[in-house]
Amino acid sequence: MITFLGLSNIAWADLPVADTLRSTISGKKLKRGEKMTYSIEWKGAGITFIKAGTSFMRVDSELTWARDRRAYHIVNETWSNPTFSFFYRVHDRIESFVDHEKLYSLRYQKMLNEGGYHHQESVEFDQEKRKAIYSTGQEVDLFPEAKDILISLYWARLFPLEVGKSIYIDNHTDKKNYPLEVKVYKKEKIKTIFGKVECLLVEPVLRTPGLFENQGRLLVWLTNDERKIPVLMKSKILIGSINAVLKEYSPGITEK
């Protein structure tokens, strides 16, 4: 997962959040067993893009339990290849446990290892009490049915996105609550593992470290169909820029 940076302060009353979006995806499910594998390509000053590593995003085939609820288990893992690791080693693992019925967060875990930066964190989402309980013991208030960054990315794929419009998702990241805005810019045909297909160019806007600690915009190309597969992601980072190019896709199963 390429993570994102930057979100201005926006009045919640002005946003089409929560109830409207929940009703739009009511009854929709994630695809169990879906897996997307990416080649991570890095570009530094005066250097053409080189393969730096691999990343995957996966929804486990079997449901699990979290906080006494049936849950999806979503995993994102990213690691640098041996050559790139000689200069800058990366191994990140992010996990999200998501309520099977309502698609809100139940538990979120991350382990980030990027160069000299190391960080581990676990967050319990007590949706009944509207509290995020961190592994440090700190408790933070939550908005109703708040979502972590990982499930937010899947949530965005469930909507009928329209060019020129944004959607907003109730997000909780790094002890803060705010609307994650997903901007939809245009339709564009690009080469993918599926051939040349029409995609929607979108920009998720939020603030969180991860995957080489993003320092700029993230642009994502989603297939313009019901699957909305992220086939290409581009972002600036501290040490250059990276592209995440989809190389393998397993569709998983759609629940009835």
- Give domain status of residue 82, yes or no: yes
Average pLDDT, the chain: 87
Residues 120 and 222: their CA atoms lie apart, in Å, by 30
Ranges of beta strands (E only) in the chain are 31-32, 35-43, 50-59, 64-66, 69-80, 91-99, 105-114, 117-126, 131-134, 139-141, 166-173, 176-192, 195-205, 214-223, 230-237, 240-250, 253-254
pLDDT score at 87 = 87
**Mean pLDDT, range 146-170, rounded to an integer:** 94
pTM for the whole structure: 0.86
- Give domain status of residue 90, yes or no: yes
With H, G, I as helix, E, B as strand and everything else as coil, classify residue 237.
Answer: strand
Residues of the chain with pLDDT > 90: what percent? 70
**Mean pLDDT, range 124-142, rounded to an integer:** 97
Taking only the tens place, the pLDDT of each residue in 181-226 is 999 999 999 999 999 999 999 998 865 544 444 456 889 999 999 9
pLDDT score at 22 = 56
**Mean pLDDT, range 236-247, rounded to an integer:** 87
- Give domain status of residue 197, yes or no: yes
- Give domain status of residue 132, yes or no: yes
The total number of structural domains in the chain stands at 1
Taking only the tens place, the pLDDT of each residue in 38-91 is 999 988 777 778 999 999 999 999 999 999 999 999 999 999 999 999 988 999
How do 230-237 and 31-32 pair as beta strands?
unpaired
- Give domain status of residue 214, yes or no: yes
